[in-house]
Structure 1
Amino acid sequence: MTERLITHLRHVDLAVPDYQTQLDFYTNAWGLKAEHSDTGLTFLAAEGSPEQYVVRLRQSADKRIDLISFGAKDAADVDTLAGQLARDGVRLVSEPGDLQTPGGGYGFRFFDNEGRTVEVSSDVGVRQHRAIEEGESIPVRLSHVVINSADPEGTRAFYEKHLAFALSDTLMHPHMGEMMWFMRVNSWHHSMAIARCPHPSLHHASFELRGLDEYMRGTGRLLRAGVEKIWGPGRHLAGGNTFSYFLDPSGNTMEYTTELEEIDEDTWHPHLYDSTNPDVADQWGTANQMNEFVATKSFNDPDKGLFVAPPV
């Protein structure tokens, strides 16, 4: 197996036409903090995270995933990984070099098998962060990102072969086969998951809250604010984490979660879960039923940024 050279998920960068509406949502409703803003570009930090930012928001005519960013231990690992990808025929967007984003660092970008832009970086400056206090219902960190794929088997194989992702669990449907793959790069059950979909797009981005009480308070705060909830609150079986899924103004699904499982990678064996079992979707039985409405919302709009690198 390829040596794992990435350490963790850093941030997800989104481009949206309704930039100001989105910025208002992520700061005033979702609970992120805007920093390092420029015209049509804002870096959004989670107060409890050492990452410089967990979401980058960019104004664009096209709605797309601009970038998914992962961390590496050091510049040597960044160089090694870039060399391996190039030798394997993966298309690099940029060669390793100094980053011009907040916190600096050293990194490079490449296209994955379906054309998403991915960044790997090291030596990014640590943000001055703080402990989230009891009862404070704002995100602590970016937990994971789930992508929709028209070729999920190929996408899984790409991330396993080139980035040493490991499979934690799989969801299947008796009539449709395997539907979602939970992939890890460290002891967290998943940093990314891949969902079967007619087209590549963002399925959802998930944000960890301090604990169960804060997660419920956050869910309630968004409901009171009139943010559209599509699924939850509940607790998944795969990963064991809680979930409340909401739509941002652009129609991207965002999740509040907590208590994502940490596993022993040396002894873990992946499960194959039947998604039609109600306990698989929601162990508590409190969430609305997973139905065609919820699934369709999570399909999102087709990503318009495939094999087109973001301008920044």
Structure 2
Amino acid sequence: MNDPVNDRLITHLRHVDLAVPDYDAQLRFYTETWGLSAETTDDGIAFLAAEGSPEQYSVRLRKDDAKRLDLISFGAADAADVDALAQRLGTEGVQLVSEPDKLQTPGGGYGFRFFDNDGRTIEVSSDVAVRQHRKVEEGESIPVKLSHVVINSPHPEATVAFYDRHLSFALSDTLTSPHVGDVMWFMRTNRYHHSLAIARCPHVSLHHASFEMRGIDEYMRGTGRLLRAGVEKVWGPGRHMAGNNTFSYFLDPHGNTIEYTTELEELDEDTWHPHLYDFSDPEVTDQWGTANPMSEFVAKKSFNDPDRGVFVAPPV
């Protein structure tokens, strides 16, 4: 593994961009039900912000004939780091989708895009204007920020190696079992336990996107609000062992799994050693014992539909 800090040019997770056929239903869900704010909307595209986040937006929705993950966006400290990373990736044979340039999305900035080994579009940017955000109040059951994104891969070991080698993500923990072997790798790009996780799956797809809530009370209020609204719950509420974070997984109108979470573990990167957790132990998947058991239903929902955007850059 690389030096987890000194080689690292990526600072944090910015946003996740989704394309869907039923754009209007998706937009209503993410704003009226999930609790994001429509900062900027245009014909068939919307930029949705989390109230507590300085990021211009945490989710971008785009109308398209096919459901797909458009891209995952990460931040860099400055334009020099963006240029250095683009040069590094190009030299190492990674396929760039665009060269570093001014961004035309809300908040501007400077960035570029590339394909990872599975064909997902990844964006890295710097100098994006800080959004006027606010402190989420006690009892407010809306997302503070985008916490992490989990992706599915049919070749997860190669995908883990890609993010380690090319982007200096560090491994925090791995889920395994005696029966099926390793199934999920949690990777970090700062002190938080994971900004990205990679799961074993028959195909490339989005596993889930997770949103941080203010605290346990707000997380439970949000979970209950979605249940009362009739949103399909996949798994939770509970508390994972890897990352020590709470979880409640739901399905958006297009079948993407999305999560409310809180209290994701912050690590001392100098002293942390990755664990190998046996997820056949119920306490590993849910320390509290309050969630429905991990089952084939939960796993199948998290597999999602095969991504239609593999090695096809989004049009915007």
Task: Check if 1:267 corresponds to 2:271.
Answer: yes
**Equivalence map 1:1-312=2 (5 Å):** 1=2, 3-312=7-316
TM-superposed CA distance for 1:35, in Å, is 1.5
1: CA distance, partners of 2:243 / 2:48: 26
- Code of the residue aligned with 2:163 in structure 1: it is Y
TM-superposed CA distance for 1:249, in Å, is 0.5
1: CA distance, partners of 2:172 / 2:283: 18
2: CA distance, partners of 1:99 / 1:210: 31
For structure 2, the 5+ residue unaligned runs are none
Q: SS in structure 2 opposite 1:133?
A: coil
1: CA distance, partners of 2:196 / 2:94: 20
1: CA distance, partners of 2:203 / 2:23: 24
2: CA distance, partners of 1:247 / 1:233: 14
TM-superposed CA distance for 1:36, in Å, is 1.2
Q: SS in structure 1 opposite 2:198?
A: strand
Q: SS in structure 2 opposite 1:250?
A: coil
- Code of the residue aligned with 1:310 in structure 2: it is P
TM-superposed CA distance for 1:173, in Å, is 1.6
String of CA shifts for 1:164-221, please: whole Å, max 9, x gaps: 0000000002111100000000000000000000001000000000000000000000
Question: Following superposition, which runs of at least 4 residues in structure 1 exceed 6 angstroms of deviation?
Answer: none
String of CA shifts for 1:221-274, please: whole Å, max 9, x gaps: 000000000100000000000000000000000000000000000000000000
1: CA distance, partners of 2:269 / 2:22: 41
Alignment size in residue pairs: 312
2: CA distance, partners of 1:273 / 1:56: 34
- Code of the residue aligned with 1:254 in structure 2: it is I
2: CA distance, partners of 1:18 / 1:198: 26
1: CA distance, partners of 2:228 / 2:179: 38
String of CA shifts for 1:99-128, please: whole Å, max 9, x gaps: 000000000000000100000000000000
TM-score, normalised with respect to structure 1: 1.00
% same residue: 77
Q: SS in structure 1 opposite 2:248?
A: strand
Q: SS in structure 2 opposite 1:206?
A: strand
String of CA shifts for 1:7-61, please: whole Å, max 9, x gaps: 0000000001111000000000000001210000000000000000000000001
1: CA distance, partners of 2:22 / 2:41: 16
- Code of the residue aligned with 2:107 in structure 1: it is G
2: CA distance, partners of 1:151 / 1:62: 24
RMSD of aligned residue pairs (Cα, Å): 0.5
String of CA shifts for 1:64-109, please: whole Å, max 9, x gaps: 1101000000000000000000000000000000000000000000
TM-score, normalised with respect to structure 2: 0.98
2: CA distance, partners of 1:6 / 1:292: 35
1: CA distance, partners of 2:65 / 2:162: 29
- Code of the residue aligned with 1:26 in structure 2: it is Y
